[in-house]
Amino acid sequence: MRQKYMFIVLSFCALSWPLGLHAQETARVYQGFTGGMVLHAGYLSGIDASAPVTPQGLTTGIGGALRVNLGKLLRVGIDGYVSTLSSNYSDARSVLSDGSYIRTGSGGLLADLCWRQSKWWPYIGFGVGGGSMKGLYILDGSQDDWAPESNAVYNKQSFFYLSPYLGTDFCLTPRVHLTFKVDWMLTVHDGALLKPSGPRGYFGFMFCH
């Protein structure tokens, strides 16, 4: 486990170091910031065979990001998101009752290269961070009463991740942008039942200064 965590840190430093040199060579390093709220969606599937159910389906959520523009290309910042896979998903083994869910929260550091053109700002980069996943699996029950559920499972686990991404901003005005992004979350957690790995898409507004 320690070797994997060290790999994540070294990977982030390896990309940030040459990008930082580029920023230092620019006469004016700080060139404003961008930040805003973003909706996102992804697909979640895959779990250990010993678990009561194999959830799969569309996850949706909301979050945001804040980046500082350094030099002509480099941007660094932070982001955070919460996404949920709602109840009534099923597989060949069982069907989950209303109230079941899997909720993932994640956040970390960002570094990307952004080509700030007149109308379009394409960018490519990656993020590194951590998060937690909470799952409530109600295998037989009802939300219509206050009776305790005897056949339910609750699970919570943490993870680290890398997420390479690419996207573009469209400048509605110099201060307001639409942003479109896709990434691929790569999680690191030994022994985890469910890892939130896979593609995600993002759409939202960015406010620039």
Domain 2-208 has CATH 2.40.160.20: yes
pLDDT band for position 148 (cuts 50, 70, 90): confident
The DSSP secondary structure of the chain, one letter per residue, reads: -HHHHHHHHHHHHHHHHHHHHHHHTSSS-EEEEEEEEEEEEEEEE---TTSS---EEEEEEEEEEEEEEETTTEEEEEEEEEEEE-S--B-SS-BPPTT-EEEEEEEEEEEEEE---SSEEEEEEEEEEEEEEEEEEEEE--SSS-PPPSEEEEEEEEEEEEEEEEEEEEESSSSEEEEEEEEEEEEE-TT-S----EEEEEEEEEEE-
pLDDT band for position 66 (cuts 50, 70, 90): very high
Note the pLDDT tens digit of each residue in 73-88. 999 999 999 998 876 5
What's residue 155's pLDDT? 81
pLDDT band for position 106 (cuts 50, 70, 90): very high
Task: Check whether 113 has a pLDDT greater than 90.
Answer: yes
What's residue 3's pLDDT? 52
In the chain, what are the domain boundaries? 2-208
Question: What is the pTM for the complete model shown?
Answer: 0.76
